[in-house]
Chain A
C-alpha cells in the first residue's frame, strides 16, 4: 500500500514516534499529531490525508469527541480507532459513530497496515464513485 496518507493521533509520544518511523519505512506518508485539537487543525490544512488512526484515550479532546468532530467536518474521512485499554465498548461506540474499525494496543504492525489498506480502499472507491457521479452529472448537463 504505497502512497497511503495517514494522520496518526496519540498523546503517547514514544509510541507515536516509533510507529511513525515504522510506517514510513513501509512507504506510507505519515502525519503525526499529539492531540485531537491538533488533528482537526492538521486535517483542515492538509486535504491529502486519507485515513486517520485515532487513539481513544487522550487528555483534552478524547478519541470519541475527535471522531464526532472529524465526521462532522470531513464526512468522507475514514477513521481507525486505537484502544489502549480494551475499552471495546468505546470502540463499538466509535464504530456506531462512523469509525471504520478498531485495533487494540499494543497492536501488530502488519495488522494495522492491513486495516489501513482496507480503509483506504474503501475511501478511494468512495471518492471514485463521487467523482463518477460528478462526471455523470456534468456530462448529463452537457447533453
Chain B
C-alpha cells in the first residue's frame, strides 16, 4: 500500500515534469520563433525604408543644388557672351543685368563685377564699395584664370562675411576679363537647411578640404567633419553612400553622403542612429516587453497548471480507487452471498431429513418398552445431540442465507435511538457478566429514518456483541453515540466504541471480508461484520473502523436521511388521526 503510494507520487512527479516540459516547448518554440522572425524582418524592412528615404532625400537635394549651381553658372556664362557684344560701358552693362537678374531670381545674386587679367576689378555693381579691389592674390582668382569658369568654395573674403563666387572667363583679342557674380549665401544655405529629419537629422555641405560650405544649427567638431572629407570612398561620382559609423566622440551616427559640383563638394546628411531608428527601437522594446510578459505567463502556466491538473487527477484517482474498492467489496459480498445461498440450500434439506429421522427414532423409542434397556439414556442423549447439532446447522445456513437475502427487509420509519436502547437492554446482562458497562450518549431530535428496523437491530447487536467478545477477559466500557453528522450533510452517525485490546493492523483491512474471523473455531462464522457492511451499503450509508492496539476500537456508521420525507410522513399521520 505504502509502496504503491510512493510509486504514485513518483508517477505524478513525472507527469508534472512531462506536462511542464511539453507546455514550455510547445509555447516557447513558436513564441521565440515568431518574435525573433518578426523583430528581424521588421528591423530589416524598417532599416531599408529609412535608408531609401534618406538616400532619396539627399539625392534630391543634391540634384537641386547641382541644378541651382549650374543654372546660376549658365546665367553668368550667358552674361559673359552678352558682354562681348556690349556697346555700352561695363558699368551700365552690369547695372542693367544685375537689375534683370534680381528681377528674375530675387535676392540670389548679390553683385556683379568685372576683373581684368591683373586681378583689378574695373567695374562693379552691388551693395559693397568694391570698385578697383585687387583680387590678384585671392584663391578664387588664381583658380578662375586657369579655367573657362569657376565656382569657388564658400569664403569670407574682403567683405567680411561668407559668400561664394561664380567666375567666367571672357576672352578678348589680346587678353581676357573675368565676369564675377557673388551668390547670396543665405539663399544657397536655405537649400540645405531645409533638410532635417527627427531631432538630430541635419544636412550640410563640405568641400574636399573638409571645410563647411553651409551653416549648421549644430556645432560640429572639426575632426568629425574632416574625417568625412578625408574618406575617399565618399568621392565616388554620382553615388549616394549610406553608412553607419561611430564618431570619435563615441556617438553612433547615420551618415549619408553624395557628391556635388563635379565632385568638389560633398553633401552630408548626418543623424544619430538612436534618433533615426527611435521608432524601430520603440517597437522593438514594446515587442520585448510583450515577449517577456508572454514568457512570464507561460512560465507560470507551465509550472502551476500541471500541478493543478495532477492534483485533480490524483483526487480523481483516489476517488475512483475508493469506488473500485467499494465495487470489489460489494462484488465479493454478492458472489459469496450467492455461493452461500447455494450451499445453504443444498445442506439444509439433508439436515432437515436427518433431524426428522432422529425425531422418528425418538418417536419409536417412546413406543417401545425399553425401560429395561440400560442404554436408553444414551439413545435419548444421542438423539438430543443430533437434534441440537441439526439446529446449529440450521442456524448457520440461515445466517448464510440472510447474508445473501436479508431476512426481514420490511422498511419502516425507525427511531434509531429506540433501536439502540432496545439492543443495549438486550445485551446489558451479558455485558454485566463480563464486567463490561455500556454507556449511551444519544442525541435528541434525531429524525425518523426509513430503513428496515430488524436489519438495523442486527447491525447494532453485532457491533455490541463483537465489543463484548473482545473485552470478555479484561472487562471494559462500551460507548454508543448517535448524532447528526458534522461531515456529511443529512447523515446521522452512530459510533460504537470500546476500550478493548483493539484490532491488529494486518487484520483491520479484512474485518469486513466474509468468513474472516479471529474468534476460536465454532465461536464465530466470520459473517457478522460483512452482513453489517452489506446492510449499511444497502441503506446507502457507510461503515468504517478505527482501531489502535491496546487502546480500543471504534466503529462508525453513517446513515442518510431525508428531512422532507420524514416530515411528509408525519403530516400524513396527522391527517389520518384527524380523520379518525
Chain A residues in the interface with B (C-beta under 8 A): 12, 14-15, 18-19, 21-22, 25, 57, 84-89, 104-107, 109
Cβ-defined partner of A22 (8 Å) among B353, B360, B407, B408: B360
Query: With A and B bound together, what is the CA distance between A41 and B320 in angstroms?
Result: 59
With a CB–CB cut-off of 8 A, which chain B residues contact A19? 356
Of the four ranges (under 10, 10 to 19, 20 to 34, 35 or more), the interface on chain B belongs to 20 to 34
Query: With A and B bound together, what is the CA distance between A107 and B391 in angstroms?
Result: 9
Q: Would you mind naming 26 contact pairs between A and B with Cβ atoms under 8 Å apart?
A: A12-B349, A12-B352, A12-B353, A14-B356, A15-B353, A18-B356, A18-B359, A18-B360, A21-B363, A22-B356, A22-B360, A22-B363, A25-B363, A25-B367, A85-B344, A85-B401, A86-B344, A86-B398, A87-B405, A88-B405, A88-B407, A104-B394, A105-B352, A106-B391, A106-B394, A109-B359
Query: With A and B bound together, what is the CA distance between A57 and B346 in angstroms?
Result: 12
B348 contacts A85, C-beta separation under 8 Å: yes
Q: Is B341 an interface residue (CB 8 A)?
A: yes
- In the assembled complex, the CB of B451 is this many whole angstroms from the nearest CB of chain A, namely 17
Chain B residues in the interface with A (C-beta under 8 A): 341, 344-345, 348-349, 351-353, 355-357, 359-360, 363, 367, 390-391, 394, 397-398, 401-402, 405, 407-408
Query: With A and B bound together, what is the CA distance between A25 and B364 in angstroms?
Result: 9
Query: With A and B bound together, what is the CA distance between A48 and B400 in angstroms?
Result: 40
- In the assembled complex, the CB of A11 is this many whole angstroms from the nearest CB of chain B, namely 9
Cβ-defined partner of A18 (8 Å) among B351, B357, B408: B357
With a CB–CB cut-off of 8 A, which chain B residues contact A89? 405
B407 contacts A86, C-beta separation under 8 Å: yes
Known: A85-B348, A88-B407, A105-B349. A15 touches B401 (CB 8 A): no
With a CB–CB cut-off of 8 A, which chain B residues contact A12? 349, 352-353
Query: With A and B bound together, what is the CA distance between A57 and B391 in angstroms?
Result: 21
- In the assembled complex, the CB of B436 is this many whole angstroms from the nearest CB of chain A, namely 32
Query: With A and B bound together, what is the CA distance between A32 and B407 in angstroms?
Result: 30
B363 contacts A15, C-beta separation under 8 Å: no
- In the assembled complex, the CB of A46 is this many whole angstroms from the nearest CB of chain B, namely 24
Query: With A and B bound together, what is the CA distance between A39 and B214 in angstroms?
Result: 139
A106 contacts B363, C-beta separation under 8 Å: no
When A and B form their complex, which 9 residue pairs have the shortest distance between CB atoms, in order from nearest? A106-B352, A86-B401, A85-B345, A18-B356, A106-B355, A14-B353, A105-B352, A15-B353, A18-B360
Query: With A and B bound together, what is the CA distance between A131 and B34 in angstroms?
Result: 108
- In the assembled complex, the CB of A28 is this many whole angstroms from the nearest CB of chain B, namely 13
A84 contacts B353, C-beta separation under 8 Å: no
With a CB–CB cut-off of 8 A, which chain B residues contact A88? 405, 407-408
Query: With A and B bound together, what is the CA distance between A19 and B352 in angstroms?
Result: 10
B349 contacts A15, C-beta separation under 8 Å: yes
With a CB–CB cut-off of 8 A, which chain A residues contact B407? 86, 88
- In the assembled complex, the CB of B154 is this many whole angstroms from the nearest CB of chain A, namely 125
Residue among A12, A86, A88, A105 with the highest chain B CB neighbour number at 10 A? A86
With a CB–CB cut-off of 8 A, which chain A residues contact B351? 106
Query: With A and B bound together, what is the CA distance between A86 and B357 in angstroms?
Result: 21
Residue among A18, A87, A109 with the highest chain B CB neighbour number at 10 A? A18
Query: With A and B bound together, what is the CA distance between A128 and B256 in angstroms?
Result: 138
B405 contacts A86, C-beta separation under 8 Å: yes
- In the assembled complex, the CB of B387 is this many whole angstroms from the nearest CB of chain A, namely 9
Closest residue of chain A to B366 (Cβ to Cβ) is: A25
Closest residue of chain B to A86 (Cβ to Cβ) is: B401
Residue among B356, B359, B407 with the highest chain A CB neighbour number at 10 A? B356
* Beyond A15-B356, A85-B345, 11 additional pairs, beta carbon < 8 A: A15-B349, A15-B352, A18-B360, A19-B356, A22-B356, A86-B397, A88-B407, A89-B405, A106-B355, A106-B356, A106-B390
